[in-house]
């Protein structure tokens, strides 16, 4: 393995350097900005979590000041899998066909699979490390104002996709998708376009179906007792009135509040109010599910790459000649 490892390091040192520059720049900016942010936070703020937290103007000013920059970093972390797939995965094998060097590379004694192990192994290591650093930076910067007032919440697309284990396995999926696209198209540019689509589509789908994986909490308040504060929970968008039979009625049936509401509820015979929400602790089961999906996708695509690159293994019988082959163009 030392042999292919050397070549992998030599051929990817430019990419590794570029990744290091990106990570150092993001880390420096985060350290600087986060220090300024925590310095400006009022001392009262730990008690102010959630939408309904205390409306401290000093706290609100800090949250509003830093929501944009934190979201920007989280977006960098969110698009990282696509960047890795396009600029690291797509050329990883496609360049061999563009240069014609696949003839040299694949015919060496080490062979296609050991070369792939070194090359893709190093790329995967760098990808996982880079994604983990970015995810950690986002989480670390966000933590002091996490789920506070109008700031970024755990279920916001940028925060959820830019932090946690799913962002790491998604980056590995992006790398595998780019590598396979490069092997299939044998051209870097079309492979980059295919990779962008291959990463964006599952991300958008998972974003859309996220609330479907687990059931939300049902929070009820009988009669006119005040509703439980939503806090940092993620509203499912379903709320309304409870009927005596235990059924639910549409929120639009009565006006929002006050004496009108009481009269209306009484006239309909509603016994109370309800809403459904995901508590912030649901971040972890949802992250685990998505991390697993991306990991399975990454492994499946890698298996396809291996299958397509695999050389013949033994002296075949004459009838055994239609095995898939890496190179078909002379």
CA angle 7-8-10, nearest 5°? 60
Give DSSP secondary structure letters for 290-325: HHHHHHHHHHHHHHHHHHHHPPP-S---TT------
Nearer to other proteins (CB atom), residue 11 or residue 217: 11
Residue 83 C-beta: closest distance to other proteins, Å: 21
Residue 160 C-beta: closest distance to other proteins, Å: 39
Residue 188 C-beta: closest distance to other proteins, Å: 14
Nearer to other proteins (CB atom), residue 174 or residue 182: 182
Nearer to other proteins (CB atom), residue 16 or residue 75: 16
Question: Is residue 138 within 8 Å of 48, Cβ to Cβ?
Answer: no
Provide Rg for the chain, Cα atoms. Answer: 26
Nearer to other proteins (CB atom), residue 57 or residue 100: 100
Interface residues with other proteins (CB under 8 A)? 2-4, 6-7, 10-11, 99-104, 106-111, 115, 311-316, 318, 321-323, 325-330
* Integer angstrom CA distances of residue 36 from 46, 69, 144: 17, 12, 12
Residue 100: CB atoms within 10 Å:
9
Residue 89 C-beta: closest distance to other proteins, Å: 18
Nearer to other proteins (CB atom), residue 107 or residue 281: 107
Q: In what order do the strands lie in the sheet with 234-242?
A: 217-222, 272-278, 234-242, 248-250
Residue 173 C-beta: closest distance to other proteins, Å: 28
């Amino acid at each position: 393995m030392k042999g292919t490892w050397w070549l992998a390091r030599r051929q990817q040192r430019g990419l590794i350097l570029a990744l290091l520059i990106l990570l150092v720049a993001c880390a420096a900016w985060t350290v600087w900005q986060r220090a300024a942010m925590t310095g400006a936070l009022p001392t009262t703020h730990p008690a102010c979590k959630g939408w309904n937290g205390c409306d401290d103007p000093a706290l609100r000013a800090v949250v509003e000041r830093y929501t944009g920059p934190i979201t920007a970093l989280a977006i960098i972390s969110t698009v990282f899998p696509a960047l890795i797939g396009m600029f690291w995965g797509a050329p990883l094998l496609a360049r061999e066909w563009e240069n014609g060097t696949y003839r040299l590379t694949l015919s060496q004694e080490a062979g296609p699979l050991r070369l792939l192990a070194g090359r893709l192994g190093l790329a995967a290591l760098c990808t996982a490390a880079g994604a983990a650093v970015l995810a950690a930076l986002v989480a670390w910067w966000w933590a002091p104002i996490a789920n506070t007032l109008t700031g970024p919440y755990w279920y916001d697309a940028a925060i959820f996709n830019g932090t946690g284990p799913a962002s790491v396995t998604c980056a590995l999926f992006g790398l595998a998708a780019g590598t396979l696209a490069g092997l299939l198209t044998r051209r870097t540019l079309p492979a980059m376009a295919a990779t962008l689509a291959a990463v964006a589509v599952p991300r958008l789908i998972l974003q859309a179906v996220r609330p479907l994986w687990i059931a939300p909490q049902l929070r009820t308040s009988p009669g006119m007792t005040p509703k439980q504060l939503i806090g940092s929970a993620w509203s499912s968008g379903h709320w309304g009135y409870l009927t005596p039979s235990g059924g639910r009625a549409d929120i639009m049936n009565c006006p929002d509040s006050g004496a009108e509401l009481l009269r209306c509820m009484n006239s309909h015979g509603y016994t109370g109010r309800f809403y459904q929400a995901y508590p912030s602790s649901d971040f972890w089961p949802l992250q685990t599910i998505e991390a697993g999906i991306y990991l399975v996708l990454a492994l499946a695509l890698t298996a396809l790459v291996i299958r397509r690159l695999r050389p013949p293994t033994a002296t075949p019988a004459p009838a055994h000649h239609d095995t898939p082959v890496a190179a078909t163009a002379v």
